[in-house]
Structure 1
Amino acid sequence: MSDKIEVREIKPSRPRPAAKTKMGDQPVHPNNTIYVRAMKGVFQRLRRYGGWFLMALFMLTPWIPYQGRQAILLDIEAQQFNFFSVTLFPQDLILLAFVFMIAAFALFFFTTFLGRVWCGYTCPQTVWTFIYIWFEEKIEGARNKRVKLDRTAWNFEKLWRKTFKHFCWLAVALVTGITMVAYFVPAPDVVFGLVTGELSFAATFSVIFFMLATYANAGWMRTIVCTHMCPYARFQSAMFDKDTFIVGYDVDRGEARGPRKRKEDYKAVGLGDCVDCNLCVEVCPSGIDIRNGLQYECINCGACIDACDQTMDKMGYEKGLISYTTEHRLAGGTTELVRPKLIGYGLALVVMMIAFVVTANLRVNFEVDVLRDRNQMFRETNEGWIENTYTLVLVNKTQQATQFHLSVEGLPPHEWSGPQQIEVAAGDVADVPISLAVDPYELTSPMTRIEFVVTTDSSDDARRVDSRFFSRR
């Protein structure tokens, strides 16, 4: 039997009326304006507190100091990514690649297991959208008041409420834009640069771009981003199966739906537990009716679950008419938590995490590279000695200034021209030009294999780099 979810055509028992969200009698498409009703409940508290925590974490992280500098700073101009005590260079980008792969397989794993929980609880689009809706509720009122306000002709109250709402939206968007750029440019420089007008054009443009993008996405587009622009909503079906936890409506228990009195024997008249209060639709940020079955617009936020549970509690019915469930469970079967697809994603995730840890442990605190003079292989000095010229490239990956000691092995008695001790600043790269000269009578072949040895005061590790010494013999 295939684990794929069959596509079925939904034919509602009664047509859904078009929403009238503007003045006059001309109805507009219900997706144009979705008035989300505020709802309290377990899942909404989890989403609300989690959203505020993630927002605060995002906003405050660039301001965390560490050893006299910004703790997390992705300095693209200097080609350095600083994460507290770790500084990553372009040579370490494989670690960032592993981080992205771990995030991808974690997303696949949790989507297969719990559906679109990323979308419902932690996606930035969702977090910012719900924060914008929170401002909307506080300024314009509850859902019914917002609908009434939009249908009312323009007056002073409508003007100041709308103006203040958009002012708050733009303020949040501006802080978001500044914070985004503060991950790449030191946060104080961004703020003071904007105030004084000394911020670079690229940074200023980035702040304005992220501000307008946040304002448009969270304030105006909202679920349009999820349904029409986000690729995750499109390819998630490849990870779903009948054992994936989704927000589902128990059709057998709920139908036939209809209003009734609280103490009425509704089953005697052929009704199910659904009282058709329509709260599950009013609280949905995507404006869908979960009773029509699984839909790709659903982001698994659980708002409809909280709404339905409150209604069931008031009616004295058992909760869970809408719940986190699976297709197998809705069909009367059992859910298999452990299955090949989930195990495959889990193993891939573990392998990526192990590879990241191993690669991180093999990372060295400094790197050495040797470049030969490309203009000539060797030259003869005034004393008749053979001289080769090199450039030693020293990369200090630590966050402290480091003293390097340079030497060479494999050569007969020689003269070293250039520094043999050099201090390299934290996270800096130093080019050290040197030359080695040898009496030609001490050389036995046209090419001699040598090793440059580099040590530091702060570590017992030594880096050995192979090179060659050329002569005319």
Structure 2
Amino acid sequence: MSQDKIDIKDVTPKTFNPKTHKGKKDRFNPSSGIYVRESKGVFQKLRRYGGWFLLVMFAMVPWIPYGERQAVLLDIASQQFNFFGTTLYPQDLTLLALLFMIAAFGLFFLTTFLGRVWCGYLCPQTVWTFMYIWFEEKLEGSANKRRKQDSGKLTSKLIVRKTLKHCAWIAIALATGFTFVGYFIPINELIIGFFTFSGSFWPIFWVLFFAACTYANAGWMRSIVCLHMCPYARFQSAMFDKDTFIVGYDTQRGESRGPRGRKADPKALGLGDCIDCDLCVQVCPTGIDIRDGLQYECINCGACIDACDKTMERMNYKKGLISYTTEHRLEGHKTDIMRPKLIGYGLIFVVMIGLFFAQVASVEPAGLSVIRDRSQLFRENNAGEIENTYTLKVINKTQQTQSYQLDVSGLTDVTWYGRQTVHVEPGEVLNLPMSLGIDPEKLTTPVTTIQFILSDSNDFSIEVESRFIGEL
């Protein structure tokens, strides 16, 4: 047996001691706050503009009108899901399953290719957290100032600033709660009912619930959600490989790190390009040191890249000491982008999109279901006919009142007892009791397969199969 031992690196977090870890925070301790320093640069502009675009879209969609209702309304109580001119019903929710599959494989593809860019740029937790931090900076000051204030005596001026900050946070949280619930309940009715105290209990409860979640997650918990609660951070490694683009620190170029003058020659001092300014740590929203290597807490937001590039620029060094790179590239190897795993995720993603649009194209503008009366198989009516009773459910999925014609095939000389022409309002589900009667001499079998036909004036028709039961 080989006596070679595997090198083991102890990554167990040490107990945080502010006296021996000056200026640093224990990111594994939820009670240890992280003061995020403002960072400016290319990637932060991209993140900021992308975040504002998504926020505006999220806030505006419930206010877009379409006819007599809002364009997007997921009316769970009525079991109607309205998207502009299309109304979906529970039987159409295979579309929702396909949509979730598209999102899943899209995330798998994006993660395999670009790492956790979803977390750094698009995740609501990140977008709302950075928005809360922006208000914190404007009302309380920079990260260093906030740290000094919080470690000092609480003054009346600081109380006013903190009160204004929390008022702004609560306002954003309430707006978020109203907007989110407004996708499920007409937002005009929701706001009027809330502020006039005329709304029902559950809508108000859900507004306050989501507002409280927003306030707690973005204002207080922040990186705790990413480090301790987010499941994505735990299984992302299954999609990572050495060709995945991550935020990485070039150890060979940066080490040994150490401070020096701007005009000093680092080679003469035996130093690398890293001046150990710690800005990459100070701007990190999860409080990690990217120079320690790839860590699951990193959300690929690029804040450390922008901070380091500015330092390199001031030192007249080449940018890119910290960059979006791959482990293979850091090791001096070539990055293989078109690898089987990435291609596989991409193909499945495209197939799911194709199936989704095929399913959307096959959604009918109307629906018909048939429920046969099971209390009795058949009866003989006063005309001497064998009669079967049914309940037809006609669903109008369009946004206009429609006229439909009902008919039946599979039987000859059948008598229809009930309405054959119906007018159905937009989104209405019309229950239509009716019966079919036939001369018993014209029945050739005890059970006959029949088709109910629903049609309109636009050459649209659908058929639903049922049974007519008689006796010989």
**TM-score in same-fold range (> 0.5):** yes
Change (3 A) 1:139 1:277: same
The question of whether the paired residues in 1 share the 8 Å contact of 2:404 and 2:423 is answered with yes
Number of the residue aligned with 1:3? none
Over 6 Å off, 4+ runs: 25-28
Cα separation, 1, equivalents of 2:23 and 2:282 = 21
Paired residue secondary structure (1:387):
strand
Cα separation, 2, equivalents of 1:340 and 1:40 = 37
- Tell me whether 57-66 or 115-124 shows the greater mean CA deviation: 57-66
Cα separation, 1, equivalents of 2:137 and 2:368 = 59
Matched, 1:135 2:171: no
Query: What is the Cα deviation at residue 413 of structure 1?
Result: 2.3
Number of the residue aligned with 1:203? 203
Number of the residue aligned with 1:50? 50
- Tell me whether 422-431 or 376-385 shows the greater mean CA deviation: 376-385
Paired residue secondary structure (2:93):
helix
C-alpha distance after superposition, 1:105-159 (max 9, x if no partner): 0000000000000000000000000000000000001111111211221111111
- Tell me whether 271-280 or 403-412 shows the greater mean CA deviation: 403-412
Cα separation, 2, equivalents of 1:351 and 1:442 = 50
Number of the residue aligned with 2:345? 345
- Tell me whether 370-379 or 291-300 shows the greater mean CA deviation: 370-379
Cα separation, 2, equivalents of 1:391 and 1:182 = 35
Cα separation, 2, equivalents of 1:348 and 1:300 = 25
The residue type equivalent to 2:295 in the other structure is Q
Number of the residue aligned with 1:40? 40
C-alpha distance after superposition, 1:21-56 (max 9, x if no partner): xxxx99974651111111110001111111122111
Query: What is the Cα deviation at residue 465 of structure 1?
Result: 2.3
Matched, 1:466 2:465: yes
The question of whether the paired residues in 1 share the 8 Å contact of 2:16 and 2:26 is answered with no
Number of the residue aligned with 2:3? none
The residue type equivalent to 1:193 in the other structure is G
Number of the residue aligned with 1:177? 177
- Tell me whether 322-331 or 347-356 shows the greater mean CA deviation: 347-356
The residue type equivalent to 2:463 in the other structure is R
Paired residue secondary structure (1:383):
coil
Paired residue secondary structure (1:299):
coil
Cα separation, 2, equivalents of 1:307 and 1:17 = 26
C-alpha distance after superposition, 1:143-191 (max 9, x if no partner): 1111121122111111101111111111111111111110100000110
The residue type equivalent to 2:470 in the other structure is S
Cα separation, 2, equivalents of 1:433 and 1:80 = 23
**Structure 2, unaligned runs of 5 or more:** 1-5
Number of the residue aligned with 1:382? 382
The 5 Å alignment of 1:327-346 reads 327-346=327-346
- Tell me whether 118-127 or 200-209 shows the greater mean CA deviation: 200-209
- Tell me whether 417-426 or 113-122 shows the greater mean CA deviation: 417-426
Cα separation, 2, equivalents of 1:62 and 1:92 = 22
Change (3 A) 1:214 1:8: farther
Cα separation, 2, equivalents of 1:18 and 1:60 = 47
Number of the residue aligned with 1:394? 394
**Structure 1, unaligned runs of 5 or more:** 1-5
C-alpha distance after superposition, 1:386-437 (max 9, x if no partner): 2211111112222222111011223232332111100111122111111122
The residue type equivalent to 1:446 in the other structure is P
Change (3 A) 1:389 1:54: same
Cα separation, 2, equivalents of 1:237 and 1:252 = 24
Query: What is the Cα deviation at residue 10 of structure 1?
Result: 7.1
Cα separation, 1, equivalents of 2:374 and 2:321 = 77
Cα separation, 1, equivalents of 2:426 and 2:155 = 61
The question of whether the paired residues in 2 share the 8 Å contact of 1:10 and 1:292 is answered with no
Cα separation, 1, equivalents of 2:8 and 2:66 = 56
Number of the residue aligned with 2:364? 364
- Tell me whether 145-154 or 410-419 shows the greater mean CA deviation: 410-419
Number of the residue aligned with 1:282? 282
The 5 Å alignment of 1:56-67 reads 56-67=56-67
Matched, 1:148 2:153: no
The 5 Å alignment of 1:236-275 reads 236-275=236-275
Paired residue secondary structure (2:98):
helix
Number of the residue aligned with 2:117? 117
The question of whether the paired residues in 1 share the 8 Å contact of 2:16 and 2:25 is answered with no
Cα separation, 2, equivalents of 1:264 and 1:16 = 37
The question of whether the paired residues in 2 share the 8 Å contact of 1:446 and 1:471 is answered with yes
Cα separation, 2, equivalents of 1:472 and 1:331 = 83
Query: What is the Cα deviation at residue 7 of structure 1?
Result: 10
The residue type equivalent to 1:423 in the other structure is H
The question of whether the paired residues in 1 share the 8 Å contact of 2:256 and 2:274 is answered with yes
C-alpha distance after superposition, 1:193-241 (max 9, x if no partner): 1011122211111011101111110000000000100000000011000
Query: What is the Cα deviation at residue 272 of structure 1?
Result: 0.5
The residue type equivalent to 1:471 in the other structure is G
| Matched pairs, number | 460
Query: What is the Cα deviation at residue 443 of structure 1?
Result: 3.3
Number of the residue aligned with 1:104? 104
The question of whether the paired residues in 2 share the 8 Å contact of 1:256 and 1:274 is answered with yes
